[in-house]
Amino acid sequence: MTSSSLRLRAGLVSIVLLAAFLGIWHLATRSTGATTTMSPEYAKLMGLTATQGKSAMPGPVDVGAKLWEHVRRPFYDNGPNDKGLGIQLGYSIARVGTGYLLAVLVAIPLGFLIGMSPLLSKALDPFIQVLKPISPLAWMPLALYTIKDSSISAIFVIFICSIWPMLLNTVFGVASVRKEWINVARTLEVGTVRRAFTVILPAAAPTILTGMRISIGIAWLVIVAAEMLVGGTGIGYFVWNEWNNLSITNVIIAILLIGVVGMLLDQILARFTRMVTFPE
């Protein structure tokens, strides 16, 4: 059996699964016809759910039509509270990017230091263990209160949630570089700085990248929640705004897009990981 035929069959199964899912979705959300009789004057004031028994959940056709509408004009701007999906995603990605890069700048050097010093590693461990499991959103009120700026607070929340996996993985990667390599470097009288960059960094890189990949996933998860909380702009705000209007169709579209963007971010990091992986 060749790998191309396996891929083909896997693709077929994927398509069948998708079709089955859409079919069931469509059947489950069909309208049930008029539920109760009501005067036309009254019916005019009521929504379709009440008058025609239309399911509160949109069907795949509704979602598809709405999605097409969004895809056709992704960058419209109708004022501060209504912008196209492209702009909203741009805001979210910019926030995640900023918070994440700051976290990289802090976590990797810090992780290096901690990883190279067993003393620091032990001393800081209790703090890291306590801070790591805190839900990033729990920081939000504190951030809003102290930073006094909601967009910086959102970036701070991304920063704080993406720092821990990177920090821990860097510490672990640096600390578990094989002793023989370091000893060889030492025998060759390589200086500390050079040793860090030419021996430890390449050896620890796969572990560090894995940490970064976990972090970007978490950061993307958190931005949606953070934006729902703070509002203003971003895909999370879009979800909240459409929820406000009980527009489940738009919420489903947003969910879909959040998934796609999350996958893309993950794939980018996965590619970087492959670039630095080495066979032992």
Residues in contact with other proteins by CB under 8 A are 35-36, 38-39, 41-42, 44-47, 49-50, 56, 78-82, 144-145, 148-150, 228-232, 237, 240-246
Smallest gap from residue 238 Cβ to other proteins (A): 10
Smallest gap from residue 144 Cβ to other proteins (A): 5
Nearer to other proteins, 78 or 187 (CB): 78
Amino acid at site 239:
V
Smallest gap from residue 250 Cβ to other proteins (A): 9
How far is C-alpha 28 from the geometric centre of its chain's CA atoms? Answer: 30
Per the document, the length of the chain is 280
Terminal CA-CA length for the chain: 30
Nearer to other proteins, 35 or 129 (CB): 35
CB 66 within 8 A of CB 198: no
Nearer to other proteins, 29 or 241 (CB): 241
Alpha-carbon torsion angle 217, 222, 223, 227, nearest 10: 160
Smallest gap from residue 228 Cβ to other proteins (A): 7
Nearer to other proteins, 13 or 34 (CB): 34
Nearer to other proteins, 150 or 273 (CB): 150
Helix pair 118-131, 150-175: axis angle to 10 deg:
140
Half-sphere exposure of 84 (CA within 13 A, CB side): 13
User: Cα(246)–Cα(56) distance, rounded to whole angstroms?
Assistant: 9
Exposure letters 34-60 (e unless 16+ CB within 10 A, then b): eeeeeeeeeeeeeeeeebeebbeebbb
Smallest gap from residue 97 Cβ to other proteins (A): 22
Nearer to other proteins, 98 or 150 (CB): 150
Smallest gap from residue 146 Cβ to other proteins (A): 10
Tokens of 57: 């959940």
Nearer to other proteins, 32 or 187 (CB): 32
Query: Residues 6 or more apart from 276 whose CB is under 8 A from it?
Result: 202, 205, 206, 209
Smallest gap from residue 56 Cβ to other proteins (A): 7
